[in-house]
Amino acid sequence: MIKLFSDDNWLLDKVLNLMAQQGLRLSNNSDPKSFLNISFKNSLDIIDVRCGKEIIKFNKPVNFFEMYSKIVHLSLEVCIEFHELKYFPFKSCISNHSSKTYLGEKHNSILSLLLIYENKGINKFDLYKNIWPEDVEIQINKLDTHLTNLKKLLDTELNYNLKSKSVKNNLKLIID
């Protein structure tokens, strides 16, 4: 998830729309956590884009595809480390010291959201709606099956036992 910020609501709205059209997973400002925070500052001749610790300046008029490609490049470097694993959510890749594997879209979404909500967990229904927003009928067994398959994939490919627990439909990773 990428969280966007700006003092300029018009600019933020345009950037949100353009990036969503390109398929980036964006979060709104009410979400507690994201993998990458990006802020936009609009001045007279320049738009400053802050991605993590990097600041990129774009002269106006801004070529959106140039801005987009630089943001994508920075997002591909985002790495979350837990246990002996390195997880690159925007590459859909997870690795350990000796192997790596690529995750499918659903598995990547599940792992991303479980890591984003690592501290308090995420409601299974919210997780389901985030992964399958078009489904009219919620089938929690579908989510449970994908979670089980993700665990099997990580065990087979990386020899890693992903642990989770579910209490009152709140799903949480167990990371000791």
Residue 148 φ/ψ region, left for φ over 0, alpha for ψ in the -120 to 50 degree band, beta for the rest:
alpha
- Helical axes 140-158 vs 124-131, angle rounded to 10°: 80
The maximal CA–CA distance of the chain, rounded, in angstroms, is 54
Label residue 21 by pLDDT band (50, 70, 90).
confident
Give the C-alpha separation, 173 to 164, whole Å.
Answer: 4
Among 19, 4, 24, CA closest to 65: 19
| CATH architecture of structural domain 80-173 | Orthogonal Bundle (1.10)
What is the pTM for the complete model shown? 0.86
pLDDT in tens, 40-90: 999 999 999 998 788 999 999 999 889 889 988 888 999 999 888 999 999
Which helix (H) or strand (E) segment is 102 a member of? strand 100-102
Which pLDDT tens digit goes with each residue over 97-144?
Answer: 999 999 999 999 999 999 999 889 999 999 999 899 999 999 999 999
Query: What does the domain layout of the chain look like in residue ranges?
Result: 2-76, 80-173
